Structure 1
Amino acid sequence: ALRHSLQDRLSKSSSGKNRDEIYLKLRTSTAPPLKLIDLPGLDQRIMDESMISDYAERNDAILLVIVPAAQAPEIASSRALRLAKEYDGEGTRTIGIISKIDQAASEQKALAAVQALLLNQGPPKTADIPWVALIGQSVSIASAQSGSENSLETAWRAEFETLKSILTGAPQSKLGRIALVDALAQQIRKRMKVRLPNLLSGLQGKSQIVQDELVRLGEQMVQSAEGTRAIALELCREFEDRFLQHITTGEGSGWKIVASFEGNFPNRIKQLPIDRHFDINNVKRIVLEADGYQPYLISPEKGLRSLIKGVLELAKEPARLCVDEVHRVLIDIVSAAANATPGLGRYPPFKR
């Protein structure tokens, strides 16, 4: 019924070309939406260049180059093929169709050219295009005029058998409308694979824009103390993650902490006069001064305590400088982590 409706509508058109589109919607959950544009008579210059470019230059359009079998020997000069190569130089969205095989069944030259195309042995400009052979449209439609539900499938099988008997040396996978459907499906899958990364990237970009806008506008206001605590805890978790990221990975100023403990602090310790402090003469002097009038054997710990205290006094300044350095670095890291936590920007008291 659908086919008959389209045939009746198209038969009423008196002009060879019409910019008024016939919209046919076929909805299914297993296939993308498709639009079929028929541009007949390219080789007869019926269609102007502007109308062709309106449809052919679209990157998601699949181009069907339909050439009658009788014209297969001169395929290299076909205007349809030239336009297809102009808009799709790599042949990634073009399918070649050789029609009316039955009408050229007695022309050996034409059949030889058709088989060469189907075997990818045609002219160089046709090598990167998949080719499919069909019989005349009127014959195929006439075969499907019966009222049987499977009339279309029967016609397709009959077409395949006819083509197989005419093109005996051609690949059977390139014969008939079933082969055309397979070729179309492969090209559609290829185009979807090519566009999928761009689509995903676009969706991710739009998602990020929406998230940024939500952050800018602010989240839903809470009306209870529990809600406020929940927001505060969530912000604390976000801040802690950012803070630990700086500390553990050395991101931002995190590397300066390691540099203070492993670089500056050991260097300052090495510069201390430890050797002079533990010189034998200096040790004797400190022990005698610590013992005073008491014999050393009675209270030896005073001398040792005095030696250790002196070393600790020497190390106090390098340790203080290290603490000051790490403190300044931690302040910078806290500030960087706070700035990297988007939620804190909406709650200035938390950020302070």
Structure 2
Amino acid sequence: MITARQREREFFATSPDYRHLSSEMGSEYLAKLLSKHLESVIKARIPGIASLINRSIDELEAELDHLGRPVSIDAGAQLYTILELCRAFDQIFKEHLDGGRPGGDRIYGVFDYQLPAALKKLPLDRYLSLQNVRKVISEADGYQPHLIAPKQGYRRLIDVALNYFRGPEDASVDAAKQLAELLDEDPA
């Protein structure tokens, strides 16, 4: 290829018909012209390409925000993300309760009325009755109560009783979160 281009240059330089055009002829000249044209076309299209890329990035960011950001693998990063979400929720919740945003009274209602009503419906009086406590502790002790302390029975009683609270607590938090989200969407 190099020798072919060298012969081409020599031909245009030595030919009496083309000597005056030797700088404007040949594959090297065409390559330079095409390079300049390609460069100008690319420079003209760069803003369009950049805006397409930025628009695609914005669309992907919006979709990622809608779907949720990926959870980090690093435990420290996960903790940081959880704390950031808690801070954001706490800030919005505080604004609702302090009157900075409408609807704080509805959130108060969740904790003042719904949660106590749900807690009153729990069957704790039956579960913590003397008969049930005696039964759970005796089952935990086994056949030789002097060898095993009744601590296991007490732990089982406490664990089950705490699990009773989990349903109303989750429902109250979910209701408050839904109210906060609805109030954020509703401009009135």
* TM-score, normalising length: structure 2: 0.45
Q: Kindly name which structure, 1 or 2, has the bigger radius of gyration based on alpha carbons.
A: 1
Tell me: higher relative CO, structure 1 or 2? Use CA pairs within 8 A at least 6 residues apart: 2
Q: Which has more strand, going by share of residues?
A: 1
